[in-house]
Structure formats: structure tokens, C-alpha cells
Structure 1
Amino acid sequence: MTMNKYTKKIYFKKEEIKDVGPSVDSDDIEQRIAARRLRIKNRQEMLGADTLTTTTKEQSHQVGLGRAQIEQSNQRIAKLIRDGDSFVTNIRVACDARENLKRAEDHELNQIRVQNLEDDATNSLDLFNKITEQWDIVQESELVDETRELLEKQKKLCTDLITEKNKLINELNLEVKAKDDHYVRELKKRTEDIDLLAERMESQIKAMQRAYREEILAIENAFLEQREKLTNEQNTEWEMLMKEIKQKQINYLKQHEEQVFEFEKELNDLRTKYSEEYNALKISLGSEVETLESHLQKLKSTYQLNLEKLEYNFQVLKRRDEENTVIKSNQKRKITRLQDNLNNLHIKSVKQEKQYSAENEQLTEDYKKRMENYRDLQKKAKLFLDNDRKNFHDIWIMNEETLKKSANRLLDAYRIITEQQLGLTWNPPDTTFMCNTGPLVGSLDQIVCKPPAVVAMELALQTDRRRIHSPQDHTVENAVPTSLKEVSPEIVKEFLQLLCYEPEFLIEEKMKRLLKPLGQEEELLLRLDTILTVLGVQTEEDLDDLFTYFIKQNKYVSWKNRPIHGRQQQHQQLVHSDDKSHSRYAPSTMTEESSKLNVGCFLLSTPFFQ
């Protein structure tokens, strides 16, 4: 362990401890502050001197043995690496030069080959043109001998042309064979170069390993020598420092004994001084205790007076409580009398409700009879319409088949005249329209009958079909309705609200943007018409079937089990909230289990959508 200059100066100061000036252990605050400032100043001066001495030493002293050996080894290793790189890359340089020369020769040979091919193509073209011209002469010749001579000449010219081509092909084949031989020789040469390169790299690796081992041993020996030298110097310096520390510790013990003696003397002086102050303080506190006791007596008398006042107030409150009890009993008797009046009014209300229920039952029966008659008339009208439509369709199909047969006969006649008589190409006309069968206009029920969306809106907006239900009608009214006309307009309107705003995915985004500027009733009508068209609902009977299926599958709770007033009020709240935000419509007439069911998924499962 070595000690720097700062540590040495802390332990081995030349001046005596008694002459250090103000001490931090002094009782005076100003002396302690001055001692701290002086100590900071001395420390800064010593640190500045240390930095100056270290910089001068680093500049004056040479580099250690280990560092010098490392620099020398690095230079030798770098030289070996450079020599090895040049020794290895010589092979690549030679290969590159040989490859460049080969490419130049190949380029020159390619130019010569292309020139020969162009010359041969020109000569062949001239000879071919000459042969072609001779064929015209052969065709014009009428004598057999002359024709034979001309054919012999043509044959000779063709033979010469083929011979030239075969000669060129043989030359190219010889060049290809020569290239193959050159390629094999080049592969052998490259293999030899690679083997030589690997051999040189292996020898270079061995040389580098040997050089690294030698340099590591040299560096290790240099560091060992430097360490031994530094160890001897530090041991000598350490022995000298230990002697100085021992002498300084002896001097410090002597100074400590003197300080202990002085501190004991000061402690005795302080004990005498503070005993006098304690006696004076005790006398003053005794006088204060007597004053506080007199004040306590005054507070006790005040407490007794307040206690008497509270007792009087308690008696007054007790008397008031008795009066309140009498008033409470009178109010109870009054409540009993008013309750009797309420019971009498309730009995009258029940009687009137029974009377109204009987009237309602009679009116309901009349209404059902009239509705049955109306449905019979509708069925008869529909039957007549279906028969008329079927007859019209059959007559149309019969006439259409006759016209198609006539048209086919006319087309066949037209084709025969065009091809056989006129000798022209037959281009058949477009007859795709003949694939369409049936009347061009829509069905009669679509023309005459109203759309189901309009019928549903009319049922929802009717106000003259409101009925007052009685508890005796529960058994009849709990039956599942088979038509929208059998329920109140409130239920129809709520059903339409559900059908319009729940299956949003059935309406395109473009359609939604077009519906925004419209009014409430127009938007509701268009939404309803779009969704019913997607679901395949085309008639009023289909709409009634959808309503009945919706109630059965969702276990719809009958509105008739609830009071009319509460039902209408809740329905109006739901409709207003839906008009404002067009949010998801959650009907209050569904149970907790069915309200969790998504109406859009339910509509996808209906047979109308499937």
C-alpha cells in the first residue's frame, strides 16, 4: 500500500501540533469557524502542489519498462501483420491480373466471332436471294432438260449454303471445346492458387502465434522486473513512514492528556455556576404555582354556577317534551280518520274499474268480430288477385313461347339466306333478352297492396285503438298475438323502434348519411323499409309472422299485465331518449335474460333473413 503526498503531509507535518492556530474543538464559535476555513485553505494549497509535482514527474520521468515493452511488441506485431497481408494478397493480385488479361482476350475473340457471324449472315442472305430468284426462272421454264439443269444448279447452290453453315458450326464447336479445355485448366490453376493461399495463411498464422507467445513472455518479464523494483522502493519508503507515524502518535497522546486535564477543570467551574442558577429558578417556579392555585379556585366557583343554569334548562325542556307527546297523539287520531276516508275512496275506485273492465270486454269482443270479418274479406281479395295473376302469367308464358319459336324460325331463315344465297358471314344478333321469362312488370300484389313498412307505420300512428285492460282479462290477453293489429299502437311502435335501430349492420353507411338530414318520421319509415327489404318481408302477412316469431323467440313479456298509464309513460321516455341520441333501444317490457340478447343476432337467426 502506497501513500500519496497529501496523506503523507497529513501524518507527517514538520511543525508542532501546538502551533496549528485555532482548533475546531474550541468552545468559541468564531475560533471553530476560523479553524475550518484555515483547514480548507491548506487543503487546497496542498492539492495544487500535488498536481504540479505529478505533472512535472510525468514529464521528466521516462515510460516504465512494461509500457516500453508493450509499445515495442505492438510495433513488431503490426509489422508482421503488414508483411503477412502482402504475402497473402500477392496471390489475389496475380489472379486478378490473369483474369483481366483473360477478359481482354475474350472480348477481342467475341468481336472477331461476331464479325465472322455477320459476314456469314450477309453471304448466306445473298446466296439465299440468288436461290430464290432462280426458282422463278425454274417455274417459267417449259423444257424438261432446261428445267433439270436449273434444278441441278439450285441443288448445288443449296449444298454450298449448307456446307458454309456446317463449316461455321464446326468452327464454333471447336471454339466451345477449346473454351472447355481452358476452363478445366483454369479450375486447376485456381485450385493450386487456393492451396497455395491456404498454405501461406497457415504459415502466417503459425508465425503470428509464435510472435505473440514471444512478445507476451517479454512483456511479462518486463512487468515482473518493474514490479520488483517498485516493491523494493515502496518497502523502503513504508518503513520510514511507519517510524514517523509512531513518533507522531506518541506526541498526540501527550497532547490529549493535557487537554483532558483542562476539560476537567472547565467542567468543575460550569457545575458551580449552574447550581446557583437552579436555586433561583426553583424559587420563581414556586411563586407561579401559588398563583395558579388561586386561579383554580375561581374556575371551580364558575363551574358550580354553570351547573345550576344547566339544571334549570333541563327542567324547561322536559316540560316541552310532555306537551309534544300530547300533540303527537292528536295527530295520530287525525291520521286514522284520514285513512278510513282513503279506504272508502279505494272501494269506490275498484267498483268503477270493474264496471269499466266489463265495458272494455264487450267492446273487445265486438272489435274482434269486426277484425275477423275484415280478414276474411282480405283473404278473399287476395285469392282473387292470386288467381288473376296466375292466369295472366300463364297466358303471358304461352304467348311468349309462341313468339320465341317464331323468332328462332326467322333467325334460321335469315342465317340460311345470308350464308347460302348472299355468301356472307353470319353474325347472329344478341338474343339474351329471350332468356327472360314472365311479365316485364311487377306482380299484382306489389302494385295494388301497400308496402309492409307503410302498413306498420299506419298501425303505430293509430290512436283510436287504445284499450283499458282489467285484471280479469289476464288469461285472454296473455296469449301470443298473431298480428300487429291485435296489440296496442305503443307495442307496435316499440317493435318498430327495435327493428329500426338495433340491426344497424343491415343498413349501409351511405344510406345512414342520407337519412341524417330527414325528419324523425321520414327517417323511421326509410329505415324500416330498408331493413324489411333485406329480411325479405314483402307483404303484411310476412310482417305479422315476423312480429309473432320475435315475441315467441324472445319470451316477450305482455304489456297487458301492467297499468296503461305507467306503460305509456315509460314508452314515451324511451322514444324521447331514442329520438335524441339514436342510441341502442332497450325495451322495458323484456326480462333481464332476454334484454341481454342482441336483437341484431336474433334477426340473423330468423327464417326471413335465412
Structure 2
Amino acid sequence: MERRSGMEDNCRIREERLKDDAKACQEKVEEIRKGWSIVNQKVVHSELQSVLDSQQQLCAAVIEDKKKLIRELQWERRVKEDEYLKNLRRLDEEIKLMLDRMQQQFQNLSKAYREELTQLQAVYQQEIEVLLAKDKAKLKEHMKEHWDTELESLMERRRMVEESEKTVHDVMLENTTKIKLMQLEENAKSQARLREQQQMKGKSVILNFKQLEHGNKNAAYNAKLGEMKGKILGSSKEVKNLKTKYAKQKDKFMKQRQYLCEVQKRSRQHYERIQKEVRYTTAADARKFEEMWVMMEEEVTQLAEKALAIDSLICKHLGLAWECPSAAFMESPGPRRSQEHDTNPTSHPLQTRHLSHCSQRMMDASVGPSLERDSEHGTGVEEGELSSEMLMKAMELLCDETGFLVEDKLRKLLAPMEKNEQTTVKLHSLFAVLGLEEKDLAKLAEFLLMYKRQQGEQTVGHFVEEAEAMENSATADSTSRLINPNNILPALRCFLEQHRKSVHERSSLSHPARDTSVEEAYWDRLGNIITEDKLKLWDAAERELKQYEEVLMDISELVPETELLRQQNTKLRMQLQQILSSTRSSN
């Protein structure tokens, strides 16, 4: 500020001197102009010479004043230049000293900041490790709870499906057994009524013969005849009432049968719908689980690859050897890999074919391959024991005993066909009702032939004996060699229970429980793909890089100020060089 005020005073004094000089010069110029006007008025040579001399002196005085002013200004300029050079040298020394002090202060602050940063990073690292350990424990606990919940829901669904299957199957068997027993009871009652009518007719014939032998007793005969007529009328009325009652009972049983068939049909449809829903939900859960697995696996794999890439860069930067993990280390035990090795058994439903193709071909084609399959699995009989004739007779007996499961419309359609074709179509319908397949034909026939359970219920056996007494003796002789007709329904029920158990076992084997230990090991491998030593190395490298970054940030903050000082120093040096060159040229 003092230098600037001094410069302002000097400029003001210089301007005043220049103004005074200009004013004096202007006055002298006016005098010279006046002298020139006097010169024009003078005529005498001496006077003109004296005027010219005076004008010349005035001009010389003006020139001398200008030269004096120039010399004074030059001297002042030299003095100011010397002072300016001294000031520049002094400023240069002060700037250098300031830079040295700033550099020393920067080094001291950097050292203090590094020590403080090291302490803060150590504290933060400990806090981060504690938080990471807590987060890992919480995540592991949440994942375990989630997997337990999913497994419990799946087991509950499987249990509900098994209970529904068992309930539907039990209802079907119970309905079929009740209908069969009701038919057997009605047949037995009708046979008893027929026997009573025949006995009454025989008694009436005997009475007629007795009356003819005793012709002399007309009065008694007439009385007895009237009594017999009354009894006959009563019996005929009773027979008529029984017939009407039988017709009503028959209509009632037919309606009840239709109702039970509809109930069974609805139950089967409901069962199939439940099966479809269960399959759909199971497939949806499996698909959702697979999608979640794939998504999480891709994300974790990308993170692992990124971590490996960062690890390789850190090792390369530090000059350490880096080894890539083996391919088996990243091998996934997920659903995609398991699908490549699993083979799910499939079953094809029994389909109804055209009547023209439902002849003996089904029986002949089913005997050989089915027996071969049964012999391979250890469930068949000895080779050659189950012939096609025995199989046909067993199936005919089965169709006769389970005829109540065949609809009346189908019976009317099968009436004009041959017996073999009727048996084939009835088998298709029966298998569709019981939920069996074509491949189970030989197993069912073998089971019926090998079944030797004795009669358990006496009432059912009584009704069956009375019904069998009215059947054709030839048919009874041919079928009794194979299996007792009384054991058809119990044997069929036992076979269906065993078949259901085997299907359930196969379904349970086809969906084994997941081994979570392998998956946990896989996720642990991915989570620990960077070892503890590498993590410590990363932490050390991170600390060094952060310190280096802090130092660079401090340097970057000082760079603009240093650059500004460098520019000012360059400008001052250029001005000094110009001044020195101008002084040299003036000297």
C-alpha cells in the first residue's frame, strides 16, 4: 500500500510538472506568435534583425526547457527502474521463502493426516468386520428359516394329495361293494319268491289230484275248492303285490345306481382336477425355485467373477502370482444340472379305441410283453404258465363279476358283438373306472389266478352261492378252475390297494428329498471364493490406496495456487528481462 501511494504521489507530481511546463511553453509560444506579428510590421532591417534574434532566443529557451524536462524525466525513470528491480528481487526472495514454508507445512500436514487416517481406518475396519459378521449370521438364519418353511409347505401339500387320493379310492371301492351286495340280495329275494310260488303251485296240484280221487266227497271238495281258490287269489294278489314291489325296488335301485354313478363320476372328475392342480402347483413351485436358483446363481457368479478379476488386478499391481480357481470349484449342483441326470417315469393313460380294433389283438398283444416285463421285474409267473386262454377266461370272469360298473348304454351297444370283443371293450371301460393301465393287464390276471383267500363274510357268501346256483353250469365249471368267483371282488380290491401303494412309492421315489448339504457347500464356496488372506491383502491395499488418494487430493488442492504463483513469477521474470534489455539499449 505504501508503494502504491508513493507511486500515486509521483504520478500526481509528474502530471503537475507536465501541466506547468505545458502552460509555460504555451505562454512562450504566444510570445513567439506576437513577435512574428511585430516582425510583419517592421520594415527597417535592424529592427527586423533584433526581433528575429529575440524570437530565436525564445525558441532556444523553449527547446532548452524541453530538454531539461526530458532529462529530469529520464533520471526519474532510471531511479524508478532501479527501485522496481530491487522490489522484484525482494518479491522473488519472499515468494521462494513462502514456497519453502508451504512445502514444509504441506509435508507436516500430510504426515499428520496419514497418521490420523491410519487410526480411523483401523477403527472403521474393526466396526465393519463386526457388522459383516452380524449380517452374515442374520442372513444365514433367515435363509435357513425360509428353506424350512418351503419344505414344510411342500410336505403339507404332498400329504393333502395323498389323503385326497386315498379318500376317493376308498369311496369308489365302498360304492362298488355296496351296489354289488344290493344286487346279490335282490337276486336272492327274487329266487326265494319264485321257489315259494312253485311250492304253492305244487300244493295246489296235489290238492287237485286228491279231490279227483275223492269224487264222492263233492261238498267237501267244493268247500276245499273254494278255499283253494281263495288262497290262489290271495297268492296271486300277493304275487302281484310282490311284482309291483319288485318293480318299485328295481326302479329305486336303478335311480340309486344312476345317482351313485354320477357321484362317482363327479368324485373322479374332482379327483382328476385335484391331481391337475397338484401337478400344476408342483411344476409351478419347481419352476419358480429353478428361476430363483438360476437368477441368484447368475448374480452370485457374476459377483464372484468380478471379485476374481479385482483380485487378479490387485495381485498384478502388487507383483504377486495369481492362480485362477478350478472349474470344479464353480460347478453348480442346481436344478439344471440335476435335470440332466434325473429320468422321470411317465405313464400313458388307457385310451378307448374304435370298436373294430378292440378284438382279440389286445389280449394277444398284452400277454407276451406283459409277461416278459413281469418276469424281468420278478413279479410274473413262470414261463408258459399264463397262457392266452387262461388270461381270456380270467378277464371274462372279471368282466362278469364287475358288470355293475359298465353302463347300460354300453351294454346295449355291445349286445350284437362277439363275446371276445365285448370282453375287450368292457376291460377298457373297467380299467378306465379303476384307474388302471393296459400294462397292468397281465399283472391283474396273474394276481387273480394266484389269489387264494378264503371266504370271509357269510352273508355275502350266501347271496353269492344262491346267485351262482342260477348261472350256467358250463360257465361255472370253466371259471371255477381258474379262481373262485366269490374271491373276485376281494382280490380286485387287494390288487388296487397294492397298485396304489406301488404308484405312491414310485411317485415318492421320482421326487426325492433335496440334499441341501451340497447346495450349502456350493454357496459357501461362492461366498468364500476370496480367502481371508486375500481379504487382508485387499484391506491393506485399500488402506494404502486411500492414503495415496488423500495425498493426491491435497496435492490437487494446492496445484491451482502453485500454478498461479508460477504464472506470476513467469510474468515478473519477463518484465524484468524487458526492463534490463531496455536499460542496456539506452546505455
**TM-score, normalised with respect to structure 2:** 0.26
Q: Which has the higher contact order (CA 8 A, sep 6+)?
A: 2
